Structure 1
Amino acid sequence: MHLPLAFCYLLAHITTSLARSPDEWRGRSIYQILTDRFARTDNNLTSPCDVSKNEYCGGTWKGIEQKLEYIYDMGFNAIWISPITKNIPTGYHGYYQTDLYALNENFGTEQDLKDLSDALHERDMYLMVDIVTNHFGSVENDPSVDYSQYYPFDDESYFHPYCEIDYDNQTSAEICWLYSNLPDVRTEDQNVIDAYSTWISQLVANYSIDGLRIDSVKNVNKASMPPFCEAAGVYCLGELSNNDPDYSYPYQQVLNGGGIINYPLYFSFNETFIYNGFSSTEKLAYNIYLDRNNSIDSNFHGTFTENHDNPRIACHNPDMSVAANAIAWTILTDGIPIIYQGQEQHLAGGDDPGSREAMWLAENGSYDNTSQLHNTTAYLNQIRTWTVQHSEGYTHYKNVVLNYSDTQIAIRKDVMRFILTFAGVGQPRGTYTTIGGGFSPNSSVVDVINCKAYTANSAGEVTADVGGGAIVVMMQADFIKGSEMCGY
């Protein structure tokens, strides 16, 4: 049933005290869920899922709710779920919507979604929902699209004529179609802007949504985003797959001071750490510098090393220590960390759709809460949570690169200094001395990953043991007292 737009408009202006601002998201750690591929309502761990068929495999909102303890026990305090609106029959991922005011029945009922939201908030966890404003989906290609199937944009006049995108031209990127079966919405049209604002206000209120991940932001009219995010009243995180910091970071202003999915850092980190040194630590250090200086606030961006659109880390580099270092980077560096489902189980799927495996069929054990990477993820989240709670500056501090070598990089993040490596488990044993570490002179310092104690020299520098691909995370001993880390 569709609600009259006038009534929807009234509902849209009922605000809720639960609306979450970007500042309230700073200390969060997000677990990204592809709803159809995470957990089934019946908890069937053998139900087949052939990713090559691009079809529904049975994951639901109720399935997510039943697995919340698995997520919560890893230290995550927010989840991001797939788009929730009605889709075409092959829209298992949620990005081919047809009706803004109807839910995707393959994922569950309205009550199921509300139950999931309630279960999250009972655990003080946030709900982020993926949103699509750029396009709708069709089973037919242009010019055979049936526009009458869409709601509320049920006429061809709401959409741009078909054209292929020239990504060297921003206007083309905003008015042309991603694919010939994805009609591109006229997001520059004021009637469209108003309709989207009305809808998102109601959606956020109805399901107590705390944040939005907005798909294909670089393909929508920039002027449409500020009123959309203002109407939503929650943190907006925009997706634009672009490795250019000068192009990407200014979108933070477009998103009302929210953040972007940080593809510039994703590309520079993964090219250095994952693709066997395809890039260099020097380039990574430079990109960290750009992130620090080009963003309004780099701690509002979403930091990630895996997602549903790109090959898994283990697909390119199966070394377990490299995977662990990537998770450490994601959780400890600037930004709001996002770990994609299955990253903690070392899944190794290739490019889309290969990286959209069903969690219940994980080769290393479905929802295994004893696996090495699961435990590493949980402990890193524990470190971050303690630091967020006990250092007011941590979620505002911007990364400073202390020094780097061909295979390692040392970074200061407020009270924390960490050393990461892509050398793998075969990395020779040795030592690594910080430059500009900034510890209190002659203070006791603890590597909380390996539980090794050091004493800073009179200049506040520490020489730490490294090797075997191990992560090093150092903090002063007096800061971690009471944390239960390494017995403190």
Structure 2
Amino acid sequence: MLCDDPECLCHPRPKKPFPKIELVLRGSNPEQFCRLDQPGSQLDVVFDLIGNTMILREITEDAKYRGASYTICLMIELKNMRFVNLEGLPDNSLLLSFRMRSSACAVKGSKMRVKEKYHGFSPDPPNSRLYNDLYLCDWAQQHLELLLPADRIKGWKTVALILKTFERITGDNWCHMVHLKKTPCVAGLDWKAFEGILIPDKEASSPESTPGEEKVIQFLADEKKNKKKKKVEEGKKLLQGIYPLGRVIICIQTIMSFQRQLLLWLCASFSVILSTPVFAADTQAWKLRSVYQTMTDRFARTDGSTTQACNTTQGLYCGGTWRGMISRLDYIQGMGFDAVMISPIIKNIDGRVSYGEAYHGYWAEDLYSLNPHFGTHQDLLDLSRALHDRGMYLMVDTVINNMAYITHGGNPATDVNYTTFKPFNGPQYYHPYCKINDYNNYPEAQQCWTGDNIVALPDLKTEDEQVQSVLNKWIQDMISTYSIDGLRLDAAKHVTPDFLPKFQEAANAFITGEVYEKSIDIVCSYQKELTSVPNYPIYFALLDAFTKGNTSTLPDEVEVMKHSCPNVTALTTFSENHDVARFASMQDDMNLAKNILTFTILFDGIPMVYQGQEQHFSGAHDPENREALWLSNYNTDAPLYNVIKTLNRLRKHAIQIDPNYIDTQTYPVYRGPSEMGFRKGREGRQIVMVLSTQGSKSGEYTIRMMNGYQPSYVVIDVFTCRTYTVNDMGELRLEMDKGEPRVLYPVNLMYGSGLCGYGTAKVTYLDFVRNQSSPSPTPTSSEGWVPRGDLQES
């Protein structure tokens, strides 16, 4: 029954059944396929966003709505298209920015070459064009098939099939039909949840069909007869009532502006709560980000002071707060960072010992209370909101391995009063005391205690089910309360390995877990338990390169890591943090610092920069490396501040041009006595960085290098804005000077970057493809491009 309700504002009932589009998800194994015209299938969302447009999307997360914005995977303009059965797509990410062009209809069974050349696939298909089997031109029986690897199918979540009349839809007259098949391809969907809204579709069912086999969900709306508040409440109730298993089955919007806003709001508000956990999507969203690591007590004060003394050697609280951080977010965002990591937020032990206080946040006492030195519950909520309002993510450093107790030189085995801890207030929740003598002995490192006899760190039994249950519930509540987007997990190598994936599943958030190890094999092995770990092997290789001048270790480590780690692009890359000595304490040359930052931000993975690195702070090991940032007066003219700004901007631009950029792996392209060249990105869209270990005292010289660009390609160094042309041999002659890094990118893709005088805009590679009419690789001002006057070509 379609429109018997007198208040239904549908178009007149068509004489024929509504046309049907059938969607099929097929894996690399021919036996693995899943029809997408039923609930329970594992496709994210099929949307009808604007009239006659269907979009398949994958959730990536949006800071403002906590996991509710989407990356377009496939867009089909239904009004003009008759394309079906997409073939030749070995791409794991499946059409991350793809548009089908209009074309004439053809006879059933014939082949037709798509007129537009497509880009954005990784790896490139054998043929850059897509071939499509053309079915009947009539909209009935349209069949769309998506081919993708079997392991990708597991990561897709929700399902929908949209049926439309394809007639003109006006503001007040609309009617959407959603047909659902009876048998889902993912078991476990509670069909009783749909009984209140499913109506037998007598007209669409064939005579041979079993009554009730095909169902119709009919969403009707009339803005004139329903107030906004009532609609919002009804929408909440609808979503909460019909999707108990956490699958957002469908969101359908109308052309009416309010209804459109309401729909998007409902989808945004409930997608995280309702959606099935998918860590790959969370990780993929974080790969797009670059992270600024703060130490809350040392970043910004509530009073805004830039002169208040802070003696790092004493190790005392210096007055940094969440409220102070809010007032300095412009400083962070000005460098191009779109995620911020803060210190652990929970209440720590109070009291001073010989080496200071718990200003760092790692001496946990009460998991259920906040650290009052950093601020209040409302302050942390306001910080989270302020970040998300700017489109930035919030990462929180987290401690689950241990609690803390001041023993003042006593015996940790007997002097700890467990009743002071919340919630683990008894010795039964902890391993018996033993001191770690060999940190490379993992059973010992995971069951004995860190800390000392001044501040004991009782080691939690993270293998215990009760401990696991409490920690899992606690992290869920914390993430939900403060809208936390990701976690750094302190001392992950000391936690029972079997608990790590359970904790990540409970958190349903991106986690990078600290494994302080130089060995690639050990660090990479932890990706079996966690999505991400900090890239310590690369950190040590960076030190070898830029403090000792060794140009072999870093390229070698890059090559080995590509073949050893499950996913290098999910690791967090850093060259300074609060646990290691500042680079400037080992080598104070400013240009070497530029080189090490260039690699940090442009290498595979999620770049993390520790506060003060942009100011060239030179503190040695803990506690000297935990300087108060306010004493720099937040200098935005500092050389490294602007180096980071340039690198972040280029990285974001490369991702905008090619969404698959973040999933490509870096590999060495050049090695000299004091230079290293690396390439990241697919041919024609790659970034090439050339690093020098000579330092600022070196003079001018020229290197000749193969670089992966085609002959006659014109590239630009984003630091000097000087252009270079690849010769007929595919060789680049690159001028080096004063040991500064060179970062090269194609000139013809610079528009929208905001670098070297090129304007800022949201563009994709297809935008450049569509505008290839100009033979010159250098843009002109008449096209809206504003190149700088000092561009030089070599």
Contact map agreement 2:584 2:593 (CA 8 A) in 1: yes
Paired position in structure 1 for 2:384 = 117
Other-structure match for 2:475: 200
CA distance in 1, matches of 2:677, 2:495: 38
Structure 1 or 2: more helix by fraction: 1
Question: Match for residue 58 of structure 1?
Answer: 319
Structure 1 or 2, whichever has the larger Rg, is 2
Residues 80 and 17 (structure 1), Cα distance of their counterparts in 2 relative to 1, 3 Å cut: farther
**Alignment equivalent of 1:162, drawn from 423, 433, 443:** 433
Task: Please state if 1:35 is matched with 2:307.
Answer: no
Q: 2: CA distance between counterparts of 1:485 and 1:360?
A: 29
The verdict on how the C-alpha distance between 1:17 and 1:306 changes in structure 2, with shifts beyond 3 A counting, is farther
Equivalent residue, structure 1, for 2:490: 215
- What is the alpha-carbon distance in structure 2 between the residues aligned to residue 259 and residue 33 of structure 1? 19
**One-letter code of the match for 2:373?**
N
Q: CA offsets, 1:409-442, max 9 Å, x none? A: 100011110101121111221112223x111221
Q: How does 1:5-16 map to 2 (within 5 A)?
A: 16=273
Residue 17 of structure 1: CA displacement? 7.3
The offset of 1:481, in angstroms, is 2.5
How many Å separate the matches in 1 of 2:419 and 2:548? 50
Counting only pairs closer than 5 Å after superposition, residues 130-169 of structure 1 correspond to structure 2 as: 130-140=397-407, 141=410, 142=412, 143-165=414-436, 166-169=438-441
Shift of 1:391: 1.4
5+ unaligned residues in a row in structure 1: which ranges?
1-12
Q: How does 1:34-433 map to 2 (within 5 A)?
A: 34-89=295-350, 90-140=357-407, 141=410, 142=412, 143-165=414-436, 166-180=438-452, 181-255=456-530, 258-273=531-546, 275-277=547-549, 280-362=550-632, 366-414=633-681, 415-433=686-704
Q: Answer yes or no: is the 8 Å Cα contact 2:646–2:718 preserved in 1.
A: no
Tell me the SS of whatever aligns to 1:434.
strand
Cα distance in 1, alignment partners of residues 640 and 575 from structure 2:
14
* CA apart distance, 1:157: 0.8
Contact 1:266 1:304 in 2 (8 A): yes
SS of the residue 2:502 aligns to: helix
How far off its partner does 1:282 sit? 0.9
Counterpart in 2 of 1:445?
715
Corresponding residue number in structure 2 for 1:8: none
Q: Is the 8 A contact 1:398 1:413 kept in 2?
A: yes
Alpha-carbon distance, 1:451 to partner: 1.0
**Distance in 1 (alpha carbons) for counterparts of 2:450 and 2:652:** 39
- Aligned partners of 1:484 and 1:359: how far apart in 2? 28
Amino acid of the structure 1 residue aligned with 2:668: V
Query: Cα deviations across residues 77-104 of structure 1 (Å, max 9, x unaligned)?
Result: 0001000000012211000001111100
Partner of 1:476: 746
Amino acid across the alignment from 2:450: L
Q: Which amino acid aligns with 2:497?
A: K
Task: Kindly provide the amino acid, as one letter, of the partner of residue 37 in structure 1.
Answer: R
Q: Quick one: distance in 1 between partners of 2:347 and 2:700?
A: 55
1 CA distance for matches of 2:533 and 2:735? Answer: 36
Does the Cα contact within 8 Å between 1:444 and 1:455 map onto a contact in 2? yes
Question: Over residues 184-239 of structure 1, what are the superposed CA-to-partner deviations in whole Å (9 max), with x where a residue is unaligned?
Answer: 11111111111111000111000000000000011010001111111111101011
Amino acid at match of 2:664: Y
Supply the distance in 2 between the matched residues of 1:79 and 1:461 (Cα, whole angstroms): 40
Q: Which moved more, 1:64-73 or 1:135-144?
A: 135-144
Taking every aligned residue pair, what percent have the same amino acid on both sides? 40
Find the residue that maps to 1:99 and give its secondary structure. Answer: strand
> Aligned partners of 1:479, 1:254: CA distance in 2, in Å?
39
User: How far does residue 30 in structure 1 lie from its aligned partner after superposition?
Assistant: 0.4
Moved more, 107-116 or 171-180: 171-180
Q: 2 CA distance for matches of 1:457 and 1:388?
A: 27
Q: Do the aligned residues in 1 keep the contact of 2:649 with 2:754 (CA within 8 Å)?
A: no
Q: Which runs of 4+ in 1 moved over 4 A?
A: 17-20
How far apart are the structure 1 equivalents of 2:500 and 2:606? 21
Q: CA deviation at 1:116?
A: 0.3
Is the 8 Å Cα contact of residues 388 and 395 (structure 1) preserved in structure 2? yes
Retained in 2: the 8 A contact 1:322–1:422? Answer: yes
The alignment's TM-score, normalised by the length of structure 2, stands at 0.58
After superposition, what is the alpha-carbon deviation per residue over 1:289-308, rounded to whole angstroms, capped at 9, x for unaligned?
A: 12211111111111011111
SS in 2 for 1:379: helix
Q: Is the 8 A contact 1:16 1:205 kept in 2?
A: no
RMSD: 1.5
Q: Distance in 2 between matches of 1:265 and 1:148?
A: 42
User: Which deviations, in whole Å up to 9, do the C-alpha atoms of 1:105-125 show, x marking residues without a partner?
Assistant: 100001100100000001100
Distance 2:450 2:664 in 1: 37
Q: Which runs of 5+ in 2 are unaligned?
A: 1-245, 247-269, 351-356, 759-794
Segment of structure 1 superposing worse, 425-434 or 242-251: 425-434
Aligned residues of 1:276 and 1:317 also touching (Cα < 8 A)? no
TM norm structure 1: 0.93
How many pairs are equivalent? 467
1:188 and 1:16 map into 2 onto residues whose CA distance is 28
Measure how far apart 1:406 and its partner are. 2.7
> Which structure exhibits the higher relative contact order, with contacts defined as CA atoms closer than 8 Å and separated by 6 or more residues?
1
1:346 CA displacement: 0.7
Measure, in 1, the Cα distance between the counterparts of 2:708 and 2:430.
56
SS at match of 2:313: helix
Cα distance in structure 2, aligned partners of 1:342 and 1:333:
21
Q: Distance in 2 between matches of 1:227 and 1:276?
A: 41
The letter for the 1-side match of 2:753 is: S
Instruction: Pick closer, same or farther for the CA change 1:17–1:445 going to 2, 3 Å.
Output: farther
Partner Cα distance (1:446, 1:239) in 2: 37
Residues in 2 aligned to 1:461 and 1:416: alpha-carbon distance in whole angstroms? 16
Contact 2:544 2:553 in 1 (8 A): no
Q: Following the alignment from structure 2 to structure 1, what is the Cα–Cα distance between the partners of residues 548 and 494? A: 32
User: Alpha-carbon deviation of 1:482?
Assistant: 3.3
Query: For 1:26 and 1:66, how far apart are their aligned partners in 2?
Result: 27
Q: Distance in 1 between matches of 2:672 and 2:713?
A: 26
Q: Residues of 2 paired with 1:24 and 1:404: CA distance?
A: 33
1:150-169 Cα distance to aligned partner (Å, 9 max, x none): 11110011111111212232
**Contact 1:83-1:95 at 8 Å conserved across structures:** yes
**Which letter does structure 1 place at the counterpart of 2:319?**
G
Deviation per CA, 1:459-478: give whole Å up to 9, x if none. 43311111211110111111
Instruction: Indicate the SS of the match to 1:51.
Output: coil
Distance, in Å, in 1 between the alignment partners of 2:273 and 2:710 is 45
User: One-letter code of the match for 1:66?
Assistant: S
C-alpha distance in structure 2 between counterparts of 1:53 and 1:475, whole Å = 47
Do 2:293 and 2:342's aligned partners in 1 also have CA atoms closer than 8 Å? yes
CA distance in 2, matches of 1:289, 1:333: 12
